[in-house]
Amino acid sequence: MKKYPPIKLNFRNSRDVLAQELKNPAFKKAYDNLAFEFSVIDAMILARSKHGMTQAKLAKKLGTKQSAIARLESGRGNPTLAFVQRLANVLNLDLKLTPRYAKR
């Protein structure tokens, strides 16, 4: 049996990778453009888990399939505003839009 030399792996954590990538202006612009979408997804996942609901239970309450919830939570879905409003109602979330020029 042939012996191979050990392979040295150099792992980086995701925060380091993101910090490095954000130095690229094109990447940062694309990342910033997705901030709203990420915040909606994060709020949905957090609220669902706080309510002790599985994706399947949430899907049943919304009249959809578990796979649709999985797509939304992974960022691959493209829900209508009406669906997001139904989702917010089921999870007891408020949807708020703030103008960018408004002081926060």
Would you call 44 exposed, middle or buried from its count of C-beta atoms within 10 A (0-12, 13-18, 19+)?
buried
pLDDT tens digits along 40-89: 889 899 999 999 999 999 999 999 999 999 999 998 988 898 998 999 99
Report yes or no on 76 lying in a domain: yes
* Per-residue tokens: 96: 């708020």
Task: For residue 62, give the CATH number of its domain.
Answer: 1.10.260.40
Report yes or no on 8 lying in a domain: no
Print the domain residue range for 35.
14-91
Report yes or no on 80 lying in a domain: yes
The rounded distance, in Å, linking the Cα atoms of 78 and 25 is 26
Band (104; pLDDT cuts 50, 70, 90):
low
Report yes or no on 101 lying in a domain: no
Report yes or no on 99 lying in a domain: no
pLDDT tens digits along 29-42: 999 999 888 888 89
Q: Which amino acid is at 99?
A: P
Residue 61: closest CA among 28, 41, 46, 83: 83
| Res. 97: pLDDT tops 80 | no
| Res. 101: pLDDT tops 80 | no
Report yes or no on 26 lying in a domain: yes
Report yes or no on 97 lying in a domain: no
- Cβ-based neighbours of 87, under 8 Å, separated by 6 or more: 44, 58, 62, 72, 79, 93
Count: domains in the chain:
1
For 2, 18, 21, 73, the CA distances from 14, given in Å and listed in that order, are 35, 6, 10, 19
